[in-house]
């Protein structure tokens, strides 16, 4: 190793220092590092379609070993560029669908996590485990969700289930497996890489201990608890009405209108339109709580619009969502109802109507 090929052999406990980032940026000035990065990019692209089967629908992607290895050698700055290049080349050489640019940020985030934990550090089993958890949980579950939502919305024109239980369980299940395999892989590649002067720490810390096993178990528990908490919160705060089909919304609104008319003599069957604004259910509670907007039909405005559009009927109004009802001048809001029904049977329990 030539002295001018490296500025310092200093190791860092954390990446939170100016010198760390100065040295990371300096990797771009080293010819052999750039050659190594090009090799890692080529291997990463070539191996991306390959995987090691673990169980049904579970496999370890071989390319992640190369991703971790490269990030450990050339650091976060080069890793960002390498991830962007490998993602672009992978989409060109092995297309799996329509190219969607935001996916590049998933690749970059994964490489960055590895680099921040492994570059210019004394690589230990704990660091490897934490890096893999950050990728499986923060990148593959948290960051990937809004990107997938955008992809389905903008490219496929479909809705995306934000709480994708199968994908979440797969990532949490793969985390300890991938962590163990990566530790074993780095134990093999660090010694020869260290002799060549590409890394500055050794592999002595890559040994399994009870603490490492407990750490993996704790992280799996934390991830599962976070997912469970999100699931409960999503269940409690997501209105069922947002997922109604057109036919279901019409049927539900008509049901609520008939219920409200039966509860109040001030509402007329001829000119009352009910629109469900929200329908919430809570974990552990047997009731489903509806908030229903009650409107009076403006006959003049309704007839004028119906004359212009033959498809504009009373059922059109009864099939409205909250926003459409509020924007239609033929509907005049007169009251708000809070209705409670049995969550399982749909049986009506009570309704309170507050007139405006």
pLDDT in tens, 20-71: 999 999 999 999 999 999 999 999 888 877 766 665 556 677 888 999 999 9
CATH 1.10.1760.20 occupies which residues in the chain? 3-238
CA neighbor of 151 nearest in space, from 141, 142, 162: 162
Give me the residues paired with residue 280 across strands: 289
C-alpha count within 13 angstroms, C-beta hemisphere, residue 136:
27
214, 176 in Cβ contact below 8 A?
no
CA neighbor of 15 nearest in space, from 3, 5, 25: 25
125, 207 in Cβ contact below 8 A?
yes
**What is the predicted pLDDT for the residue at 6?**
46
**What is the predicted pLDDT for the residue at 347?**
93
Parallel/antiparallel/unpaired status of strands 348-355 and 51-55: unpaired
CA neighbor of 40 nearest in space, from 193, 200, 258: 193
Helical pair 103-118 and 125-133, crossing angle rounded to 10 deg:
160
Which runs of consecutive H residues, i.e. helices, occur in 299-355? 299-308, 314-318, 322-327
Residue 225 class from Cβ within 10 Å (0-12 exposed, 13-18 middle, 19+ buried)? exposed
Q: Which residues of the chain have pLDDT under 70?
A: 1-8, 51-59, 159-164
Return the CATH fold of 3-238.
Arp2/3 complex 21 kDa subunit ARPC3 (1.10.1760)
pTM, 2 dp: 0.73
Distance CA 75, CA 24 (A): 5
């Amino acid at each position: 190793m030539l002295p001018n090929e490296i500025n310092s052999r200093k190791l860092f406990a954390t990446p939170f220092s100016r010198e760390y980032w100065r040295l990371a940026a300096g990797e771009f000035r080293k010819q052999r590092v750039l050659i190594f990065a090009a090799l890692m990019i080529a291997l990463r692209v070539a191996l991306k379609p390959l995987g090691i089967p673990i169980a049904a629908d579970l496999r370890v992607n071989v390319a992640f070993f190369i991703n971790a290895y490269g990030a450990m050698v050339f650091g976060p700055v080069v890793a960002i560029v390498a991830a962007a290049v490998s993602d672009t080349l992978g989409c060109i050489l092995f297309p799996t669908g329509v190219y969607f640019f935001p996916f590049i940020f998933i690749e970059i985030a994964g490489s960055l996590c590895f680099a921040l934990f492994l570059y210019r550090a004394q690589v230990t089993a704990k660091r490897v485990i934490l890096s893999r958890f950050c990728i499986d949980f923060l990148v593959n579950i948290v960051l990937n969700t809004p990107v997938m939502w955008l992809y389905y919305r903008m490219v496929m024109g479909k809705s995306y289930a934000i709480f994708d239980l199968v994908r979440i369980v797969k990532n949490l299940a793969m985390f300890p497996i991938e962590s163990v395999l990566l530790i074993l892989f780095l134990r093999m590649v660090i010694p020869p890489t260290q002799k060549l002067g590409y890394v500055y720490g050794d592999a002595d810390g890559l040994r399994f201990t009870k603490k490492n096993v407990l750490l993996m178990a704790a992280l799996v528990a934390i991830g599962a608890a976070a997912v469970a908490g999100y699931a409960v919160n999503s269940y409690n705060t997501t209105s069922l009405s947002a997922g109604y089909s057109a036919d279901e919304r019409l049927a539900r609104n008509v049901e609520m209108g008939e219920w409200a008319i039966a509860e109040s003599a001030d509402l007329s069957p001829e000119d009352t339109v009910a629109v469900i604004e929200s329908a919430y259910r809570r974990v552990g509670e047997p009731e489903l709580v509806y908030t229903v907007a009650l409107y009076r039909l403006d006959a003049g405005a309704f007839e004028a619009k119906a004359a212009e559009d033959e498809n504009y009927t009373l059922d059109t109004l009864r099939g409205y969502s909250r926003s459409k009802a509020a924007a239609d001048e033929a509907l005049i809001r007169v009251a708000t109802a809070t209705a409670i029904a049995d969550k399982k049977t749909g049986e009506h329990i009570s309704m309170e109507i507050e007139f405006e």
